[in-house]
Chain A
Amino acid sequence: MKILAVTSCPTGIAHTYMAAEALQLAAKEMNIDIKVETQGSVGAENVLTDEDINSAHAVVLAVDTNVDKARFQGIPMIEASVKDAIKDAKGLLQRAVDAKPVAKENVEQKVEKSEAPKGKQGVYKHLMTGVSFMIPFVVAGGILIALSFAFGITAFQTEGTLAWALMQIGGGTGAFGLMVPILAGYIAFSIADRPGLVPGMVGGLISANIGAGFLGGILAGFLAGYTVVLLKKTIKLPKSMEGLMPVLVLPVLSTLIMGLIMIFVLGGPVKAVNDAMLAWLEGLQGTNAVLLGAIIGLMMAFDMGGPVNKAAYTFGAATISAGQPSMVMAAVMAAGMVPPLAIALSTVLAKNKYTVDEREAGKAAWALGASFITEGAIPFAAADPIRVIPSIMIGSAITGALSMFFKATLAVPHGGVFVLPIPNAVGNLPMYLVSIIVGTVIGGVLLATLKKR
C-alpha cells in the first residue's frame, strides 16, 4: 500500500521537515510505502507526480499553509496540521490506511464546497499573483530602456550598438514584451494552476499584439483561468484516456478558445476605440489648448499602453513629424511621466499601505517615470485599478493642462529627463518641470490618501 503526504509550515524552515521525517519514520515502522512532498522555504521538494497520485491509496496533508488540494481529487485526503504529524504520525498514517476510496462525484462536490467561500478574496488573490510575477519584468525592462536612453534618446536606432542592444533586451522584443503575457499567465495560473499558464500567457501576448495593453491582459488572464476551470468540469474522458487531459486536451482547447476570443471578440473593439480616440483628438485641435492638455493627460494615464494611451501618444508624435517643436508632444510626454512618478511618491508618503515588494518597485518607478516609461505604473494600476488609475489620471491631466498653459514645447518624441539638457529640445524648460512636479505631487498625495491598508 502506498501513502502520500505533503508537509508545509508557515516559515518553512523546520517543522515542514520534522513532520516529513516523523511520517517517514512511522511509515517504516508500520511497513508502509510512503512518499512525502515538502513545501518549505526552498520550494517544493520530492514533488508528488500524477503517477504517484494515481497509484496511491490516500494522501496525508500535514499543512498549516494553503496547498493545492485539487490535484488529489479522487483519492481520500487526511487533512491535519504539521503539529499532528510530529506528535502522532502513526495515528495519521493509520487513518490514511483505513480511509475508503471515495466515489468520484462525492470528491468533486466536496472540493467545490470547500472552495466556495473564497469568493471575492479569490479574485484579488489571482490579480496579485499576476502582478507579483510581473513586477521584476517591468523593473528590469524599464531600467534597461532608461540606460539605453542615457546614450542619447535616438542612440538605440543604430543597430549593433550597446544602446540598441539594451533596447532589444529591455523593450518590446525583451522584458517589456513579456510583461503582459506574464501578468495574464499568472492570473490564470492562480485560478487554474498549471493548465492555466498556457492560455493565459498566449492570451496576454495577443492582448499586447492587438494593442489592448495591460487591461486586456488582465481580462485575458481571468478568461483563460476560468475557461480551464470550466473545461475541466465539463469534459469527461473515459478513465483510460484521462492522461490526455493535462497534456493534450486542456492546453489545445483552452488556448484555441482564448485566442479566438481575444482576436475576434476583443480585437475589433480595441482597434475601434483607438481609431475613434485618435479621430476625436484630431477634431479637438485648435480648440482650447489647456483643455486639450488635460484630455491628453487623462488619456495617457488611463490604460498605459492600451488603445486610449496609444491614441494620445500617436496624436502627439504626429504633431512633431515635421520636425517642429510641439506643445501637444510636450504635454504628452509630461503626462506620461507623471503616473510612475506619482506612484513612487505615494509609496514614500504612505509606506505602510504598500507591501515590501511594492515599495521596492516604487523606487524603480522614480527612474522609469523620469525616463517617460509610463509602464512603470502598470503593476500598481493592475493591483488596485480603482484607486490607482483615477489618481494618476488626475495628476497627469493637471500636468498636461499646465504644460499647455505655460506653452512648453518638445521637439522629440521620447526620452524623459534625458532630453531636457539638449539645447532647443524643450521650450520653456523651467515651467515644463514645474508642470511635471505639480501633477506628480497632486497625483501622489491623492493616491496616498485613497490607498487602503
Chain B
Amino acid sequence: MDMTKLLTDKRVSFDLKSTTKNDVISELTGILTNDGVISDEGEFIGAVLKREEEFSTGIGMGVAIPHGKNKAVKEPAIAFGRSSAGIDFESMDELPAHLFFIIAVPEKSDDVHLKVLAEISRKLMHQDVRDKLMNVSTYEELIEVFK
C-alpha cells in the first residue's frame, strides 16, 4: 500500500482559493467529491466540523489536517491543498495554516489505510518535510517528499 492510492494526482490543489476555515474545508471536500469519494458532501463536512469542535486540527507550524470518519465516505482518501497567503484555521499556535491535508475515512476501514495515514501524520511533524511541501509544484514532487 503506498500513498498514491489515497492521494491521487486529481486530489491536489497548489493554489487554494478559500480565505476562511469553513470555506477551505468545503473546497477540499469538493475535490474529493469531484473524484467520486464522497457520497454526501453535507454529511461529511458535518463530521469534519464536529471533529474541529473538539479542538482545531490546525496543529500549528502552518499545517492543518481536517479529517472525518463517516459513512458518506466510499473509500479512504486524502486531498492536499496549499494556500500561499495562508488561512486562519484557529491553529494551536494562532498562525495561519498553509498546508492542508483533508483525510476522509469510511466508517469501516481496514488497518492498511489507517497505517498509511498514521505514517503521513508522523512525517508532517518534521520541519524538512513541511519546508519541502511549501515549495513543491507538481504532483510527482509532492509524492517524492513522502518517500
User: Which A residues fall within an 8 A CB radius of B?
Assistant: 10-18, 20-22, 25, 38, 40-43, 64, 81, 83, 86-87
Contact = CB atoms under 8 A, between A and B. Distances in A.
27 contacts: A10-B51, A11-B51, A11-B67, A12-B114, A13-B69, A13-B105, A13-B121, A14-B117, A15-B121, A17-B118, A18-B121, A18-B125, A25-B125, A25-B126, A38-B118, A40-B114, A40-B118, A41-B114, A42-B111, A64-B54, A81-B55, A83-B55, A86-B59, A86-B125, A87-B60, A87-B92, A87-B93
Nearest to B61: A86
Tell which of B67, B122, B123, B124 has the most Cβ of chain A within 10 Å: B122
Given A15-B59, A15-B121, 5 more contacts: A16-B121, A18-B59, A18-B122, A21-B123, A21-B126
Which DSSP category, helix, strand, loop or mixed, fits chain B's interface?
A: mixed
Interface size class on chain B is 20 to 34
B122 A17 contact: yes
Nearest to B110: A42
A292 to B, nearest CB: 48
Tell which of B54, B55, B109, B121 has the most Cβ of chain A within 10 Å: B121
A15 B66 CA distance: 11
Interface in B102-147: 103, 105, 109, 111, 114-115, 117-119, 121-126
A432 B119 CA distance: 61
A81 B114 CA distance: 22
B117 to A, nearest CB: 5
Interface string B59-72: 11000010101000
Nearest to A89: B125
A25 to B, nearest CB: 6
Contacts of A15: 57, 59, 121
Given A83-B55, A86-B59, A18 B124 contact: yes
Contacts, number: 68
B125 A21 contact: yes
Contacts of B92: 83, 86-87
A20 B122 contact: yes
A42 B118 contact: yes
A21 B121 contact: yes
Contacts of B122: 17-18, 20-21
A41 B103 CA distance: 14
A311 B122 CA distance: 60
B54 A16 contact: no
Interface string B62-99: 00010101000000000000000000000011000000
Given A42-B118, A83-B55, A14 B111 contact: no
A451 B60 CA distance: 45
Contacts of A40: 114, 118
**3 A-B pairs closest in CB distance:** A21-B122, A21-B125, A17-B118
Given A17-B118, A42-B114, A10 B54 contact: yes
Contacts of B111: 42-43
A13 B115 contact: no
A43 B110 CA distance: 12
Contacts of A17: 117-119, 121-122
Nearest to A26: B125
B106 to A, nearest CB: 12
A17 B59 CA distance: 12
Contacts of B123: 21
Nearest to B112: A42
Contacts of A18: 59, 65, 121-122, 124-125
